[in-house]
Amino acid sequence: MKFRNASIIAVVSYIAYTNAAALKGTSCPPVDSKGVQRLVTKNKLMKNLKDLETIANWNGGNRAFNTPGYTASLNYIKSQLDTSKTWKSWTQDLEVPYQKPKVTFVVEGKAYTIGHFQFSMWAGEDDFNVEGEVVEGPPGPASCTPEGYTGLNVTGKIVFVDGANCPGGVWQSPWVHYGDVVAPRLRAAHSAGALAVVVHLNEKYEAGLVGFKQMPDRKDFSPSGYMAYTDGLHLLSLIRRTGRPVLAKFENSWFSGKSLTQNLFSESIGGDPTNVIMIGAHLDSIRNGPGINDNGSGSSLLIALFHALQSYCPKNRIRFAWWGAEELGLYGSNHYVSNLSKQEADDILVYLNFDMIGHGYFGVFDGNSTSKPEDPYSLTSPPGSSVIEKLFVDYLVGSGVPITKEPLVANTDIAGFVELNKAVGGMHSGSIGVDFCYHRKCDDYTNINETHIEIIGKATAHVVSVLSNEGAKIIPKALSHSVNEDGRVIPTKVWDKKPSISEKVDVTVGDVLGI
Ligand SMILES: *[C@@H]1O[C@H](CO)[C@@H](O)[C@H](O)[C@H]1NC(C)=O
Ligand SMILES: *[C@@H]1O[C@H](CO)[C@@H](O)[C@H](O)[C@H]1NC(C)=O
Ligand SMILES: *[C@@H]1O[C@H](CO)[C@@H](O)[C@H](O)[C@H]1NC(C)=O
Ligand SMILES: *[C@@H]1O[C@H](CO)[C@@H](O)[C@H](O)[C@H]1NC(C)=O
Ligand SMILES: CC(=O)N[C@H]1CO[C@H](CO)[C@@H](O)[C@@H]1O
Ligand SMILES: [Zn+2]
């Protein structure tokens, strides 16, 4: 009986859907969870990702900020948005500063490829140009402490150290934390009087170094870099075989510039403009690869939802945002938030974020999160966030899907909206430790589990439908506080250490070594 009713409803809503399309928005049904879910399918989600991958392949292998691949990704989505008569779309320009290091390491006339630990807090301040003898450092973990250098005179020399994990260091295969392996070595070599230090990447660190924990202090940061495993073996055999000092020239200089990029938006023309449901994902990739899980997967979900929602007239207005320059430090979303007028800020009811939803676990952002002093990236969830969390959790639990509580962190596009005290939520399926291809070239189409992304897609379809229909009743509205002399809202800093260009971007072996 129940089943029979359900199928009748399904037929009715299908008719409503075709009518709505025919009427081109003159009259159409409110968003219906089941109907939207039906239209968010794995085929559609995967098709968008295939297209984004093709775009990366045609544009030098990535879709990063300030590259043709980003522009092509933006145009690809925009051309789809522009087909709608019931939604309006626009872009927002922003100027983003960036820096690029140029590192050279030449040993007896042979140039070795060196990765720069480019994203320390002091990026840009460490131009150097040194010349000296290259010597082998203490073996293995001994180079993690100053004591390891006992009996070894490295004063004025470039020390080449093994990159094995340090005692107590965390190694989430295949990743190893930068802070755990690199920072102690830089400190130790520096205190032993070395002129410079080059870390020989361990062959086990297939994916490289990542993370921004325990950054070295400026005073510990002597000229430094890392070398790939095979290159390092070559250098070692050279040092060992020549019975005389081996000289190297080690140089680094930074190039700084500014470049324009865009955020892309689309919103329903209909729907209550004073209770806007915002849904965002970042569109840029890192430079090392096509960025299909990170974060093409979130962008794909937004495209699929956009198409699915064309059949409905949202009760509360729905606005999608594809952010630019996230990977450089959340520039796109922060710019958007800080350019809102008081009215525009007040009109936003909630913000949902989707990035890296292609495989791993089913992480739902914690709506009751509190910021912890020991974790500078942790955030306190604004009021209403637990309502959003519950919508996701109830849906997923009801579908028999296991859930992981995902802490609310400042290094996502959510941060700007937390600073407006807006209810936030969304899903995330894990990065380091779950996604072997995180920030690597292999983050391509085949890195996506289509069952996984579909489950998250349908859960989101459901939550967006509920929020579009009842959001104004179930979410407390956060009104903005003060405005500056230009009439723009002043976000309340929840975190004074927001990722900057130097901190946000992970240290990977990628850019330089191309893996
Ligand atoms: C270490 O080497 C430097 C440079 O070769 C030299 O000036 C210094 O005296 C040496 N220190 C010791 C303790 O041998
Ligand atoms: C800031 O917002 C105003 C409208 O409120 C808009 O006219 C202007 O173009 C925006 N500026 C940027 C840089 O996006
Ligand atoms: C979040 O906190 C609220 C209020 O303290 C509580 O009612 C709710 O059960 C909590 N939700 C979760 C998912 O922990
Ligand atoms: C794909 O994801 C689903 C849902 O998380 C999981 O059950 C399945 O094992 C995954 N498949 C692979 C090949 O990992
Ligand atoms: C930093 C990064 O590369 N990308 C983001 C992709 O999305 C997840 C979830 O929002 C973020 O944690 C990552 O920072
Ligand atoms: Zn990323």
For ligand 3, whether the C-beta of 368 sits within 6 Å is yes
Q: What is the DSSP letter of 277?
A: E
pLDDT over 70 for what percent of the chain? Answer: 78
Interval between CA 438 and ligand 6 midpoint (Å): 7
Two structure tokens written together for 46 = 């995967």
* Nearest-angstrom CA–CA distance, 401 and 388: 17
For ligand 3, whether the C-beta of 326 sits within 6 Å is no
The per-residue pLDDT for 433 is 63
DSSP 119-180: TSTTTTS--EEEEEEEEE-SSGGGGGSGGGGTT---TTSEEEEE-PPPTT--EETTEEEHHH
For ligand 1, whether the C-beta of 150 sits within 6 Å is no
Indicate which residue's Cα is closest to atom 14 of ligand 4. 449
Terminal CA-CA length for the chain: 57
Give helix 42-58 / helix 297-309 axis angle, nearest 10°.
130
Helix (H, G, I), strand (E, B) or coil at 412: coil
| Segment 430-447 mean pLDDT | 71
| Segment 428-436 mean pLDDT | 73
Q: Looking at the predicted structure, is the pLDDT value of residue 421 above 60?
A: yes
What's the gap between Cα 421 and its chain centre?
22
The per-residue pLDDT for 249 is 96
More confident: 355 or 365? 365
The answer to whether 308 and 87 are in contact (CB under 8 A) is: no
Q: Which residue bears the tokens 């959510």?
A: 414
Residues with CB under 6 A from ligand 4: 449, 451-452
For 379, other C-beta atoms within 10 Å of its C-beta total 26
More confident: 497 or 317? 317
More confident: 347 or 4? 347
pLDDT confidence bin for 288, thresholds 50/70/90: low
Indicate which residue's Cα is closest to atom 2 of ligand 2. 339
Residue 111 CB-half CA count within 13 A = 5
The per-residue pLDDT for 253 is 82
DSSP 321-335: EEESS-TTTSHHHHH
| Segment 183-196 mean pLDDT | 90
- Identify the active-site residue in 326, 327, 419, 454: 326
Indicate which residue's Cα is closest to atom 8 of ligand 3. 386
The strand pairing partners of 502, in sequence order, are: none
For ligand 2, whether the C-beta of 339 sits within 6 Å is yes
Two structure tokens written together for 181 = 């392996």
3-state SS, 424-482, equals EEEEECCCCCCCCCCCCCCCCHHHCCHHHHHHHHHHHHHHHHHHHHHHHHHCCCCCCCC
* Nearest-angstrom CA–CA distance, 135 and 513: 23
What's the gap between Cα 55 and its chain centre?
19
Indicate which residue's Cα is closest to atom 4 of ligand 4. 452
Helix (H, G, I), strand (E, B) or coil at 117: coil
Q: How many residues does the chain have?
A: 515
Question: Can 326 be counted among the known catalytic residues?
Answer: yes
Q: What is the DSSP letter of 83?
A: T
Interval between CA 438 and ligand 5 midpoint (Å): 10
For ligand 5, whether the C-beta of 261 sits within 6 Å is no
The per-residue pLDDT for 460 is 97
Most confident of 10-14, 47-51, 93-97, 438-442: 47-51
Annotate 121-160 with b (16+ C-beta within 10 A) or e (fewer).
eebbebeeeeebbbbbbbeebbbbbeebbeebebeebbbb
Which ligand 2 atom is nearest residue 341's CA? 5
Residue 366 CB-half CA count within 13 A = 14
The per-residue pLDDT for 495 is 61
The residue type at 433 = G
Interval between CA 439 and ligand 5 midpoint (Å): 10
pTM: 0.77
* Nearest-angstrom CA–CA distance, 331 and 500: 9
Mean pLDDT lowest among 155-159, 191-195, 505-509:
505-509
**Among 364, 366, 368, 369, residue to substitute to test ligand 3 (most atoms within 8 Å of Cβ):** 368
More confident: 171 or 313? 313
* Nearest-angstrom CA–CA distance, 17 and 318: 18
Residues 6+ apart with CB under 8 A from 44: 304, 307
For ligand 1, whether the C-beta of 155 sits within 6 Å is yes
Q: Are strands 196-200 and 224-227 parallel, antiparallel or unpaired?
A: parallel
Q: Looking at the predicted structure, is the pLDDT value of residue 123 above 70?
A: no
